[in-house]
Amino acid sequence: MADSLAIAILAAGKGTRMRSSLPKVLHRLSGLTLVENVLASTAGMNPTRKLAIVGYEAAQVKDALAHVEGIEFVEQTEQLGTGHAVQQVIPALEGFEGNLLVLNGDVPLLKPETIESMLKTHTDNGNAATILTAQMDDPTGYGRVFCDENLIVQEIIEHRDCTEAQRKNNRTNAGIYCFNWSALMTILPHLKSDNDQNEYYLTDVIKDLSPVMAMDTSPAEVAGINNRKQLSEAEAVMQRRIKDALMLSGVTLINAESITIDSTVTVEPDVIIEPQTNLRGNSVIKAGCRIGPGALVENSTIGENTLLVHSMVTDSAIAAGGRIGPFAHIRGQAQVAENCRIGNFVEIKKSTIGANSNMAHLSYLGDAELGAQVNVGAGTITANYDGKYKHKTVLGDRVKTGANTTLVAPITIGEDVTIAAGSTLTKDVAPDCLALTRSPQKTIPGWKPRYIREDSQP
């Protein structure tokens, strides 16, 4: 089909200037790898084919993208330039008819609407190729694109080959292309590496295609990531985009510069996010919540109208009406039901907490199942680990544990049980009981420490 679209993402490079063993395209930006950000910018285009051209640490890149539906991998075993990279897709696209969009896996800030506009420009004008360009204040080091008044590309000249007059042209090549595949195939297989680098440059096909049109976009969108400084600068751009969109959707950010929010996070209207808060991964913050200050939420759901202060929630879910913190730690697929109070210095791991339950301070629950309206006294812990296995603790509805209670798992405490302060329980307790384990209290009148008795002797 003439309107079919294939997307090829160049993701084969090592990224030497990142000074990392991790492939450059797998460094993270606002919750996604660089190459995932590139893929995200194409999500609304419904391409016929999606190809990632991989090379350095190809297995890592493939693993990182294995979740992407319909992704195909093409290997570039030697990195011999952009033209050589695109040559690798020729066998995979045998018989393909349509357009090929070529994106760079280390250019993660390109907006979907920019790509859509580029494709529209390409198809509306019947171009053999369309290239994305940016007019930069300082284009030093970038290839210059020379166009006529209709933005028809006449030539592309590398910076080092430009005359002084040509260097005054600030329109640069962004390295993003859309090709008519059939037109490209008349030239691509015949590229040569007659240059100082002995590489095959994709720009070399432009002079033999017609018409070729340029489309300008902002320099910020086409900024490539080559080192950690540029990664940090891109993070600042992405964070501004994310937070601007949230504020315009009805979310309040107090001291927005101190807050970080991944692009994968969903925040509903009427949420207030306080300073020094970090929202990461596939988290969902429901309407009416107040998050922070000093909170971390990662891959978790926070229910409506929950207050979460100076606390950490990872891989867990808090239902509506919760009051969490300060200094609570909820992790490991914990599930906290409606209207629970999880207070100071409380840790919950891989446990379910029933509705309207209360853990106000200084407690640990691991591998536990609590019913509704349970009150956990200060200093209560589940001794859930025997050194080899984790064991379960079950507390029925309306159980009350006294301060400094230890529950040695596996153990089941029935409904409406009260546990006396200072108890260590090792056996199940039937419903409607008082449970306690205490040694008899001894009182010795007139007792003084030995050193006081010895000092008082004449």
Confidence of residue 1 (pLDDT cuts 50, 70, 90): very low
- Is residue 327 within 8 A of residue 348, CB to CB? The reply is no
- Is residue 230 within 8 A of residue 223, CB to CB? The reply is yes
Could you give the CA distance from residue 305 to residue 240 in angstroms, rounded to a whole number?
26
Read off the pLDDT of each residue in 14-42 and give the average, rounded to a whole number.
96
Residues 56 and 133 in one domain: yes
Per-residue pLDDT for 441 more than 90?
A: no
Helical ranges in 33-165 per DSSP H: 34-40, 58-65, 82-87, 112-124
**Under 8 Å CB-to-CB from 66, ≥6 apart: which residues?**
none
Condensed to tens digits (0 to 9), the pLDDT of residues 114-147 reads 999 999 999 999 999 999 999 999 998 888 999 9
| Residue 438, marked binder | yes
Residues 141 and 20 in one domain: yes
| Residue 226, marked binder | yes
| Residue 76, marked binder | yes
Residue 446 lies in a domain: no
Per-position b or e across 324-350, b if 16+ CB within 10 A of its CB: bbebbbbbeebbbbbbbbbbbebbbbb
- CA distances, 293 to each of 26, 253, 277, 322 (Å): 31, 11, 6, 16
pLDDT at position 239: 98
Other Cβ atoms less than 10 A from the Cβ of 186: the count is 13
HSE-up of 407 (CA within 13 Å, CB side)?
Answer: 36
| Residue 13, marked binder | yes
Residues 76 and 209 in one domain: yes
Residues 261 and 175 in one domain: no
- The active-site residue, picked from 27, 122, 310, 361, is 361
Residue 451 lies in a domain: no
- Is residue 146 within 8 A of residue 152, CB to CB? The reply is no
Helix (H) or strand (E) holding 301: strand 301-302
Residue 292 lies in a domain: yes
pLDDT at position 456: 67
Residues 332 and 270 in one domain: yes
| Residue 421, marked binder | yes
- Is residue 225 within 8 A of residue 235, CB to CB? The reply is no
Type of residue at 12: A
Structure tokens belonging to residue 156: 């592309």
What CATH number does residue 20 fall under? 3.90.550.10
Residue 264 lies in a domain: yes
Residues 84 and 178 in one domain: yes
| Residue 378, marked binder | yes
What CATH number does residue 333 fall under? 2.160.10.10
Could you give the CA distance from residue 228 to residue 413 in angstroms, rounded to a whole number?
54
Per-residue pLDDT for 446 more than 70?
A: yes
Per-position b or e across 140-178, b if 16+ CB within 10 A of its CB: eebbbbebeeebebeebbeeeebeeeeeeebbbbbbbbb
| Residue 11, marked binder | yes
Read off the pLDDT of each residue in 109-114 and give the average, rounded to a whole number.
96
Condensed to tens digits (0 to 9), the pLDDT of residues 147-191 reads 999 999 999 988 888 899 999 999 999 999 999 999 999 999 998
Per-residue pLDDT for 457 more than 90?
A: no
The question of whether 391 is a catalytic residue gets the answer no
Structure tokens belonging to residue 299: 């891959």
Three-state secondary structure readout of 152-184: EEEEEECHHHCCCCHHHCCEEEEEEEEEEHHHH
DSSP type of residue 20: S
| Residue 12, marked binder | yes
pLDDT at position 199: 84
Residues 278 and 426 in one domain: yes
Residues 195 and 238 in one domain: no
Read off the pLDDT of each residue in 24-32 and give the average, rounded to a whole number.
97
| Residue 158, marked binder | yes
Condensed to tens digits (0 to 9), the pLDDT of residues 61-86 reads 999 999 999 999 999 998 899 999 99
Residues 303 and 204 in one domain: no
Look at residues 204, 222, 240 and tell me which one is the last residue of a structural domain: 222
pLDDT at position 97: 93
Could you give the CA distance from residue 372 to residue 397 in angstroms, rounded to a whole number?
5
Residues 32 and 169 in one domain: yes
Beta strands 212-217 and 284-285 are: unpaired
Mean pLDDT of the chain, nearest integer: 95
- Is residue 315 within 8 A of residue 327, CB to CB? The reply is no
Number of domains in the chain: 2
**Under 8 Å CB-to-CB from 391, ≥6 apart: which residues?**
367, 384, 385, 409, 410
Helical ranges in 76-227 per DSSP H: 82-87, 112-124, 181-185
| Residue 2, marked binder | no
Domain residues for the domain of 279 are 228-435
| Residue 385, marked binder | yes
**Under 8 Å CB-to-CB from 427, ≥6 apart: which residues?**
411
Condensed to tens digits (0 to 9), the pLDDT of residues 309-350 reads 999 999 999 999 999 999 999 999 999 999 999 999 999 999
| Residue 375, marked binder | yes
DSSP type of residue 197: T
Residues 214 and 354 in one domain: no
Residues 348 and 408 in one domain: yes
